[in-house]
Amino acid sequence: MAFSSTTKTLLLTACFTVLPVAAQASDNAMGVVSQAQGLPREFQEHFFDVPLAVRVDLDGRYLGDAMVVLSRDERVQLLEFTDHFDSREPETLRRRWQERLASGRPLGDCKRDCPDGLRAIHYSLVNSQLSLLTHAAELAGDAPRYHALPDQGSGLLLRNQLNLVSDGRDTSGLFSLAGQGSLGNWTTLGDAQFDRGSASNQQTRHRVSQLYAERLHDEHFFAWATSPRASRA
């Protein structure tokens, strides 16, 4: 079956999305030729030596979207950056790396002629991502990964709602109360409701739908909670 060039591009993109998820963990260590073997044969010829849209990361930081060309001899050439709206990196940094990759560089570990502390270049077919790793990534390994919380502090936010309905003889109503507070590094949250029907013999009901406290400490999560309860008064 013959496909148009537009159809081939769309189908090639679709093939990227259905590759096994398990490949994500290992495709960075694989060459582009090995990764391309997971594509249908008719699409492999449209993967090499043609412009591809990729996401470019520098030491884990988003640098921008770009058009690159991959070759079967495990090289990558960066043609241009097409978008960098969500990137916090300066334009001078994108221009610098575009110049470094304009003539093409080998994928994998950098063994010679490594500008700006370049350590390796990896391409992920699953994520359509080009990763640039430099010595700065090693230096930043001990940098704080979490924001420090205040040592002291407390506060409370309350929200309440009262609904009443009366027909002149009987009255029914609902009262709800929700609160969120902080005590030190702990955050607490509670939610309770009280309601009564219009029938004269109906009792007031109350229930606690949630009541818990939590604390985040780096990658650890601590919580204390009670089971929801309902009762009649």
| Length of the chain counted residue by residue | 233
Q: Select from 80, 109, 142 the last residue of a domain.
A: 142
pLDDT tens per residue, range 133-174: 998 876 755 556 666 766 677 888 999 999 988 887 778 888
pLDDT confidence of residue 229: 63
Show the domain range for 175: 154-232
User: Is the pLDDT reported for residue 8 higher than 70?
Assistant: no
Q: What pLDDT, on the 0 to 100 scale, is given for residue 224?
A: 72
Q: Residues near 196 by Cβ (< 8 Å), separated by ≥ 6?
A: 171, 172, 173, 202, 203, 204, 205
End position of a domain, from candidates 142, 170, 197: 142
Confidence band for 120, pLDDT divided at 50, 70 and 90? very high
Are both 190 and 130 inside the same structural domain? no
Mean pLDDT computed over 34-52: 81
> What φ, ψ does residue 180 adopt, rounded to 5°?
-135, 125
Q: Are residues 130 and 178 in the same domain?
A: no
- 128 and 24 together in one domain: yes
Q: Is residue 47, in this structure, part of any structural domain at all?
A: yes
Please state the domain count of the chain.
2
H or E element: which one contains 32? helix 32-36
28 and 135, same domain (yes or no) = yes
Encode pLDDT of 92-112 as tens digits: 999 999 999 999 999 999 988
- Which domain-ending residue is among 122, 142, 162? 142
What residue has token string 């990764």? 35
pTM for the model stands at 0.51
The beta-strand segments (E) located in the chain are 51-58, 61-71, 75-83, 105-106, 108-109, 118-124, 129-134, 154-166, 171-183, 186-196, 205-217, 220-225, 229-232
The tokens describing 214, both together, are 């939590």
